[in-house]
Structure 1
Amino acid sequence: MSYNIRYDNPNDQKYVWRHRREGVTSNIRFHDPDIVGLQEALHDQLRDLRRRLPKYEWLSAGRRGGKTVGEYAAMGFDRGRFNLEADSTFWLSEDPSATGSVGWDARQPRLVRYARFREYETGIQFYHFNTHFDHVGETSRIQSAALLRNRIDAMTDDLPVIVTGDFNTRESNRAYRRLTRRRQRRTLLDARHAASYPHHGPETTMTDFHRLVPDKKIDYVLVTEDVEVLLHGACADTDGEGLFPSDHLPIVAHVLLPLRRSEER
C-alpha cells in the first residue's frame, strides 16, 4: 500500500488529524497490506498508528533532518512475516547524503526511505523504496526520478524491488516517464499497467475529503519486471459520515515475488 495520509495541519479545521485518524487506521487495517509506504506522516501521527496497528513495525525519517523532524516518508511492515535486513535514507538533492538538503528547484527537503526485507517462511528477499517528490519543482521531480532509478540500479543486487510514493506527477509528465522508461539495467513498471486484471476503483488518487478530484493520479506503486502484479486499485473507502480520511486515496497492489533457487526449501 502507498498512502499519503495528509499531515496534521491545524488550519484544516474539521479535517484535522484527530478527526481522521480512525478512518486512516481503518483503511490500513481493512486492506491489510504486508508493507505500507506512508507520506506526510508527522511524528505524532505515526505514534497514533503504532498504537492502533500493532501488527506493523514502522521505520521513520523526518525530511527536515533528525529522526522526528518534519513529515515522514514512513514505512510499515508486518513484523510477523518479514525480517528487516537493512535500511537507510537518502535525500533527493545534488548531495543525497546531506541530511535535510533541498534539491534543484524543490520547495521542501525530500527523501527516499528504503529497506531490504526477508520473508521468514520462504527466505525471499526484496527491497521497498518509499518517497514523496516535491510538489513545486518540476526539475526536482525529473532529477529525483533519475536519482531514484540510479540508486535502485546500484544497490539492489537484482533483488525484486517495490516502490511506493506520492510522486506529484501525472503519467503524461516527464518525471513519470523517467521513472518508467525501459532501461538496460532494470526497468520499473507501473503496477496498474502490469496487473493481470483491470484496475479497481477511481482513475484519480486525490480528494477534497468530500469528493474525488478528477484527473489527478499522482500516487503510484512501481515494481521491477521480476515482480508479478495480480491486482491494482485506488481504494475509495469513506468513513461513517461519507468523508475520505485523507486528501489522497490509498493505492494497493497484490504482487507475487520470485522464488530464487537459493531460497528454495
Structure 2
Amino acid sequence: MMLNAALLVTTLLAIIMKVQAATLPIRILTHNIRYAADPPATGEKPWSTRKQLILNELHYNTLHNPEAFICLQEVLNEQIVDIMAGLGDEWAYIGVGRDDGKTEGEYSPVIYRKAIWELVTWKTVWLNEDGAVGKKGWDAGSVRIVTIGTFKHMTSKKEIVAMSTHFDNAGAISRRESAKIIEGIAADIASPASNFSSTGLPFFLAGDLNSEITDDAYMMLNNASSLLQDTKEQAKWLYGDENTYTAFDDVDKSLIDFIFVGPRGEGDWSVEGYSVLPNRFEDGVYASDHRAVVVDGVLEV
C-alpha cells in the first residue's frame, strides 16, 4: 500500500510538472512614454523629472516576470539610453530611430531579458507606400514604423514574434493603410514556410494606434476575420482605467493604446489579465500623457 501511495505521488508530481512545462507565462507591457519635449508642454514635467517614474514602472511591473517584454513608443535616442542604463545589463532592446533607421527620430523598441530570450532576427518596417526609410506615408504627419523581433525562449525553445508600433495621429488614411501592412505581416508570421518560420508562430502587437475602437484601423485589426485580437476582449481579469491617453490635464481622454495577440483561433494564447496603469500619483507629476497597458498571457509550448 505504501509503495502504491508513493508511486501515485510520483505520478501526480510528474503530471503537474508536465502541465507546468507545457505553458509559458508572458507579461507584455506597452507604454507611450512621451518624447523628451524641450520645452515641455503645459502641465508636463521635463524628461529629467519623468524618467525615474517610467523606470520605476518598468522595474516594478517586470520584477517577478522574467519572460516579460516591454514595448515603448515615442522614445528618443537619449531616452532609450537612459532607460537601458536604468534597467541594467540584464536587458537588451531592438529598434531604431524612425527618421534615419539609426538614431534620429522616435523609436518603438522591444525590450527583453537576454538570459531568457534569444534574439533570432529582427527588423524595422516603415509604414508608408513602399517601405522607404524615413518616409511619411499617405496623409501622415510623421514618419511611422513597426519594430518586429523573433525570439526563442531559452528553456522551452518556444519561438514568438513581438511587434511594437505607433500609428499616425493626423492621418486616418495612414492609420488604415498601416493596419493593412500589419495584417500582412501577421499573415506571414502565422503561415507555414513563411519568412519567419516553417510552421508559423504566435505573435503579439503592442502600441499606440492613435485609433479609438470605432476608428477604421482598430476595427480592421480586431474584426472577426483578422488574425489579431484585442487582449482586453479575451482577458479573464480586467483592472484599472478605461482610457489610456490622458494628455497632461486628465480632460482629453481616449482609449488608443492596445495589445493584440494572434493568430486568432489557433489556441496558442490564453489571456489571464489586462490592466491599464496610472500615469500620475499623489505627487501630481504625469510620468507620460499616456497610461501603460499590461497584459498577462500564457502561451502553449
TM-score (norm 2): 0.81
**SS state at 1:252 partner:** strand
From 255, 258, 265, the counterpart of 1:217? 255
Partner of 2:229: 189
The question of 1:80 aligning with 2:124 is answered no
CA apart distance, 1:207: 2.2
Measured in 1, the distance between the counterparts of 2:182 and 2:234 equals 20
Query: Would you say 1:140 and 2:174 are equivalent positions?
Result: yes
Matched to 1:208, the amino acid is: A
The reply on whether 1:22 has 2:22 as its aligned counterpart is no
* Aligned mates of 1:171, 1:62 — CA distance in 2: 28
Letter in 1 for 2:85: R
Letter in 1 for 2:294: V
C-alpha contact (below 8 Å) 2:45/2:286 kept by paired residues: no
TM-score by length of 1: 0.91
Structure-1 residue corresponding to 2:245: 206
Shift in CA distance, 257/80, structure 1 to aligned 2, threshold 3 Å:
same
Per-residue CA shift, 1:26-66, capped at 9, x if unaligned?
01111116101110000000000111101320112111113
Percentage of identical aligned residues: 28
Instruction: Give the conservation status (yes or no) of the 8 Å contact 1:39–1:166.
Output: yes
Mapping of 1:37-186 within 5 angstroms? 37-54=71-88, 55-96=90-131, 98-157=132-191, 158-183=200-225
SS at match of 2:239: coil
Q: Does 1:253 align with 2:295?
A: yes
Q: Determine the structure 2 residue equivalent to 1:35.
A: 69
Separation of aligned partners in 2, 1:111 and 1:209:
25
2:7: which partner in 1? none
C-alpha contact (below 8 Å) 1:62/1:69 kept by paired residues? yes
Tell me if structure 2 keeps the 8 A contact 1:23–1:238.
no
Q: Which letter does structure 1 place at the counterpart of 2:211? A: T
User: Using the alignment, how far apart are the partners of 1:26 and 1:102 within structure 2?
Assistant: 34
Aligned positions, number: 254
Query: For residue 181 of structure 1, what is the amino acid of its counterpart?
Result: N
How far apart are the structure 2 equivalents of 1:93 and 1:5? 24
| SS in structure 2 at match of 1:23 | helix
Select which of 9, 33, 36 maps to 1:5.
Answer: 33
Q: For residues 69-114 of structure 1, what are the alpha-carbon distances to aligned partners after superposition, in whole Å with 9 as ceiling and x for unaligned?
A: 1000111011121110110011111112x11121111111101100
The structure whose Rg is larger is 2
How many Å separate the matches in 1 of 2:185 and 2:135? Answer: 17
Deviation, 1:243, is 2.3
Output the CA distance in 2 between the equivalents of 1:21 and 1:90. Answer: 27
Question: Is the contact made by 1:116 and 1:127 (CA closer than 8 Å) also made in structure 2?
Answer: yes
CA contact (8 A) 2:117 2:154 kept: yes
Q: CA deviation at 1:180?
A: 1.0
C-alpha spacing 1:210/1:80, structure 2 compared with 1 (3 Å): farther
- Runs of at least 5 residues in structure 1 that lack an aligned partner in the other structure: 260-265
